[in-house]
């Protein structure tokens, strides 16, 4: 046995056909009887096997033992990587009262970000980036493992108490809210890993998973120590932004910043150059974790630009007049988020609640503009919130994604989804059950309807030539049970 974790046990094994050493991950038996998990697991395993990069541990095979009796747990055959997980290296440094050298950290995590960037370009999000899934070889090369398994677990995580989702200590704010994962979610998780490597502790760690996830949602990131070069600190801080739009877009962009942090710090310095602006004081936060640890001496210095100031923010005059509105809104938001996290991290429902902490009631303010009309008093009016928009694009799904996964992704976006097999024959250019197209494409609103058309089984070519016709063909439909799992993209 090599390792054990929340999803199963990893064994060292020998491929007798190809005479090579491999790693076999046998998943927990509790997943064996769940058809939803098995379908998603097979789809994700195929996607992961298509990834080829020096920084990604290869996936060779998947399946389940055959035989009579109860259903056997599924397994995954992977590349056997000689080395240690980054979590073991961090534990060794922590026990010695040291942290990893900043230059080493930047190099290791840039390699990991490169590998994530390749997956992101293929439309795959890891969803569970953490030190245990980053293997470091003796020659200091990084390989990422467990692509796709986290998403397969998402299919059953919300219906089972204690099921595994993203690790709370490395969970992005949007994952904690139950929103779909994106490449920026992996960037955030890798940013948490970077913070831990540089300081010897995680930025947020509380007594319970819910409290830890709440900290990722609400608490500002504790500043990195002065031993971290300011330019590198600016890169890590940006990766840990609460808003995904403020982070690096994907692994490739994060890798470039880790290799040239001075460039990113220089841009931030220009943005914050106005020294006369009002400065916002950092709120007092409780930092849970070990005290700052002594840094291991670096073999080579790591230079960076001076730290940049925080952007100023003027106080809102209306909040001065009516501070109780902000207080009430904050309390309501906290209550709703706690309820969502209790469901997401503890199990308890099939649907992912969406958090909407935008106040929906407002009162009219007196106007200072001159008017010729008689003054009137208006009762408080209730405003309506415009429906959220969803961008639908079948470009990254066509001929690559199983239609059931596409249905799950669109349902996660709040759309009403139906699916049909296309009428035209499959000439073999696209796999059976893969996405052919969406209708419609473009910008939709939550609650709108969209149809996923998928390819049927491959048909043998015929020598007959079809007669052109202008009459529309009737598409066949193969109704199946809708997928109820939560798919995060």
DSSP string, 357-419: ----EE-PPPP-S--SSPP-----EE--PPPPEEEE-GGGTBTTSBHHHHHHHHHHTT-EEEE
pLDDT, tens digit (0-9, with 9 covering 90-100), for 419-440: 888 877 887 778 888 888 888 8
> Which residues does residue 11 pair with via DSSP β-bridges, in sequence order?
24
* Cβ neighbours of residue 88 closer than 8 Å, sequence gap 6 or more: none
Q: What is the pLDDT of residue 174?
A: 93
Q: Which of 12, 1, 9 is nearest to 28 (CA)?
A: 9
Q: What is the pLDDT of residue 250?
A: 97
Which H helix or E strand runs over 24?
A: strand 20-27
CA 196, 201, 205, 209 torsion-angle sign: positive
Question: Looking at residue 422, which CATH number applies to its domain?
Answer: 3.30.10.20
The pLDDT > 70 percentage for the chain reads 62
pLDDT, tens digit (0-9, with 9 covering 90-100), for 191-231: 999 999 999 999 998 888 889 989 999 999 999 999 999 99
Q: Tell whether 6 is covered by a domain.
A: no
Residues 259 and 397 occupy one common structural domain: no
Q: Which of 206, 214, 87 is nearest to 146 (CA)?
A: 87
Single out the residue in 252, 270, 288 at which a domain terminates.
Answer: 270
Residues 266 and 395 occupy one common structural domain: no
CA 29, 33, 37, 40 torsion-angle sign: positive
325 three-class SS: helix
Residues 256 and 403 occupy one common structural domain: no
Q: What is the mean pLDDT of residues 124-145?
A: 94
Count up the domains in the chain and report the number: 2
Q: Which of 217, 222, 144, 123 is nearest to 175 (CA)?
A: 217
Q: Tell whether 265 is covered by a domain.
A: yes
Pick the residue with more confidence: 30 or 132?
132
The residue length of the chain stands at 489
- The CA distance from 215 to 274, in Å, is 31
HEC secondary structure over 432-452: CCEEEEEECCEEEECCCEEEE
Write down the mean pLDDT value for the chain.
73
* Domain interval for residue 405: 389-454
Q: Which of 241, 280, 238 is nearest to 263 (CA)?
A: 238
pLDDT band per the 50, 70, 90 thresholds, residue 43: confident
From edge to edge, which strands make up the β-sheet containing 84-85?
Answer: 84-85, 134-136, 142-144
- The CA distance from 278 to 276, in Å, is 7
Residues 251 and 115 occupy one common structural domain: yes
Q: Tell whether 322 is covered by a domain.
A: no
Q: How many CB atoms lie within 10 A of CB 448?
A: 17
Q: What is the pLDDT of residue 6?
A: 63
Q: Tell whether 225 is covered by a domain.
A: yes
Q: Tell whether 349 is covered by a domain.
A: no
Q: Tell whether 371 is covered by a domain.
A: no
User: Contact at 8 Å (CB) between 363 and 321?
Assistant: no
pLDDT band per the 50, 70, 90 thresholds, residue 167: confident
Which H helix or E strand runs over 362?
A: strand 361-362
405 three-class SS: helix
Q: Tell whether 266 is covered by a domain.
A: yes
Q: Tell whether 328 is covered by a domain.
A: no
Question: Looking at residue 190, which CATH number applies to its domain?
Answer: 1.10.510.10
276 three-class SS: coil
Residues labelled catalytic: 128
Q: What is the pLDDT of residue 150?
A: 54
Evaluate if residue 471 carries a pLDDT over 70. Answer: no
Residues 261 and 410 occupy one common structural domain: no
pLDDT band per the 50, 70, 90 thresholds, residue 291: very low
User: Contact at 8 Å (CB) between 190 and 166?
Assistant: no
Single out the residue in 255, 270, 285 at which a domain terminates.
Answer: 270
Which H helix or E strand runs over 218?
A: helix 209-218
* Cβ neighbours of residue 138 closer than 8 Å, sequence gap 6 or more: 82, 83
The alpha carbon of residue 432 and the mean position of all alpha carbons in its chain are separated, in whole angstroms, by 28
Single out the residue in 246, 270, 294 at which a domain terminates.
Answer: 270
Pick the residue with more confidence: 328 or 47?
47
User: Contact at 8 Å (CB) between 309 and 270?
Assistant: no
User: Please, what's the b/e burial string for 88-123 (b: 16 or more CB within 10 A of its CB; e: otherwise)?
Assistant: ebbeebeeeeebbbbebbbebbbbbbbbbbbbbeee
Structure tokens at 19: 């005479």
C-alpha triplet 302, 303, 306: angle, nearest 5°: 135
- The CA distance from 370 to 15, in Å, is 85
Evaluate if residue 276 carries a pLDDT over 50. Answer: no
pLDDT, tens digit (0-9, with 9 covering 90-100), for 70-79: 567 888 899 9
User: Please, what's the b/e burial string for 285-297 (b: 16 or more CB within 10 A of its CB; e: otherwise)?
Assistant: eeebeeeebebee
Q: How many CB atoms lie within 10 A of CB 13?
A: 15
**Which residue's structure tokens are 């925080």?**
310
For residue 294, how many C-alpha atoms fall within 13 Å in the half-sphere facing its CB?
5
Q: What is the pLDDT of residue 393?
A: 82
């Amino acid at each position: 046995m090599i390792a054990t974790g929340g999803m199963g046990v990893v064994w060292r094994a020998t491929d007798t056909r190809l005479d090579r050493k491999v790693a076999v991950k046998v998943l927990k038996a509790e997943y064996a009887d769940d058809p939803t998990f098995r379908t998603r697991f097979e789809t994700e395993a195929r996607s992961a096997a298509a990834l080829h990069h020096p920084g990604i541990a290869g996936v060779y095979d998947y399946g389940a033992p055959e035989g009579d009796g109860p259903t056997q747990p599924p397994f995954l055959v992977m590349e056997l990587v000689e080395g240690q997980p980054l979590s073991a290296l961090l534990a060794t440094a922590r026990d010695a009262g040291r942290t990893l050298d900043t230059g080493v950290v930047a190099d290791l995590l840039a390699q990991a970000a490169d590998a994530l960037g390749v997956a992101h370009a293929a439309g795959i999000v890891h969803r569970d980036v953490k030190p245990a899934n980053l293997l470091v070889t003796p020659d200091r090369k990084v390989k990422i493992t467990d692509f796709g398994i986290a998403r397969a677990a998402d299919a059953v995580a919300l219906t089972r108490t204690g099921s595994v989702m993203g690790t709370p200590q490395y969970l992005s704010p949007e994952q904690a809210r139950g929103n779909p994962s994106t490449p920026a979610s992996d960037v955030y998780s890798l940013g948490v890993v970077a913070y831990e490597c540089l300081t010897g502790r995680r930025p947020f760690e509380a007594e319970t998973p819910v409290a830890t996830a709440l900290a990722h949602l609400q608490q500002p990131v504790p500043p990195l120590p002065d031993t971290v070069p300011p330019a590198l600190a600016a890169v890590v801080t940006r990766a840990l932004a609460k808003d995904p739009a403020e982070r690096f877009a994907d692994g490739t962009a994060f890798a470039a910043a880790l290799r040239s942090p001075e460039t990113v710090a220089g841009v931030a310095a220009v943005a914050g150059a106005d020294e006369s602006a009002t400065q916002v004081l950092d709120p007092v936060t409780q930092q849970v974790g070990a005290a700052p640890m002594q840094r291991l001496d670096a073999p080579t210095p790591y230079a960076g630009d001076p730290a940049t100031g925080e952007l100023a923010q003027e106080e809102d005059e209306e909040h001065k007049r009516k501070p109780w509105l902000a207080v009430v809104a904050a309390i309501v938001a906290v209550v709703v988020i706690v309820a969502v996290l209790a469901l997401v991290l503890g199990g308890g429902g099939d649907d992912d609640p969406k958090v909407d902490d935008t106040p929906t009631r407002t009162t009219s303010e007196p106007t200072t503009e001159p008017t010729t009309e008689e003054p009137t008093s208006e009762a408080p009016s209730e405003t309506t919130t415009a429906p959220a928009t969803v961008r639908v694009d079948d470009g990254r799904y066509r001929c690559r994604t199983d239609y059931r996964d596409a249905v799950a992704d669109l349902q996660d976006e709040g759309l009403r989804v139906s699916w049909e097999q296309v009428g035209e024959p499959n000439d073999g250019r696209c796999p059976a059950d893969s996405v052919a197209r969406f209708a419609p494409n473009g910008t939709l609103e939550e609650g709108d309807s969209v149809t996923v058309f998928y390819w049927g089984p491959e048909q043998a070519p015929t020598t007959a030539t079809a007669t052109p016709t202008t009459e529309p063909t009737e598409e066949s439909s193969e109704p199946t049970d809708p997928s109820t799992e939560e798919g995060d993209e």
